[in-house]
Amino acid sequence: MKSLNNIVPMLLLLALCGAGCKKEEAPPPPSPPPAAPKPAAPKPAAPVQAQRSSVSSTGVSLDFSKKTDPFKSQAPVVKPPPGSPGGAGAGAVATPAADLLPIQSFEVSKFKVAGIIAGLRENQALVIDPNGKGYVVKAGMQIGNANGRISRITSSSVEVVERYRGGGGRPKSRTIVLTLPKKR
């Protein structure tokens, strides 16, 4: 009987294994139903806000010709009186007002030296115009309304050379020295 007790579980095991080894094919999936005709695309909704541009729908454009240019200098242009160096009577070449910087709007003698910065390579100076605006300048820069050019900056002064054409068309120059006020 012992052998029968061993055989029964073996047979059960073989029966279960044999049943699991059978290969069964799954039925093919059903084909998809034919596509129905697509409904018409919905119309886009009206915009929430009307579009704005410089040209309206009627074709009329906006006029910006009366607006001022924010990038142009608003400094007044001061012309030297006739007969002075650089004036119209002296035969100087007039420069367009649009090319002038604010530092070129006043006579050189009207500027005041507020301080001098001594550097290793070159000196710089702080000059104040009659309106109270300050400029840091160095040698070679233009200053004044008569085409003056800074020729030298010493420890106590700024020298400006103005070149102009005198009588007979000969070039002339004059040097204006702006001194640093003494400490009190």
Residue 80 and residue 156 in contact, taking contact as beta carbons nearer than 8 Å = no
Contacts of 151 (CB under 8 A, 6+ apart): 139, 159, 160, 161, 175
Q: What is the model's pLDDT at position 94? A: 47
What global pTM score does this model have? 0.46
Pairwise pLDDT comparison (13 vs 91), residue with the higher score: 13
pLDDT in tens, 104-146: 889 999 999 999 998 888 999 999 999 999 999 999 999 998 8
Beta-strand (E) ranges in the chain? 112-117, 124-128, 134-138, 142-143, 148-153, 157-165, 171-179
- Give residue-wise pLDDT tens across range 23-74: 666 667 677 666 666 666 677 777 677 666 555 556 667 777 788 777 777 7
Question: Domains of the chain by range and CATH?
Answer: 88-179 (2.30.30.830)
Average pLDDT over residues 74-97: 56
| Banded pLDDT at 149 (limits 50, 70, 90) | very high
pLDDT at 91 over 50: no
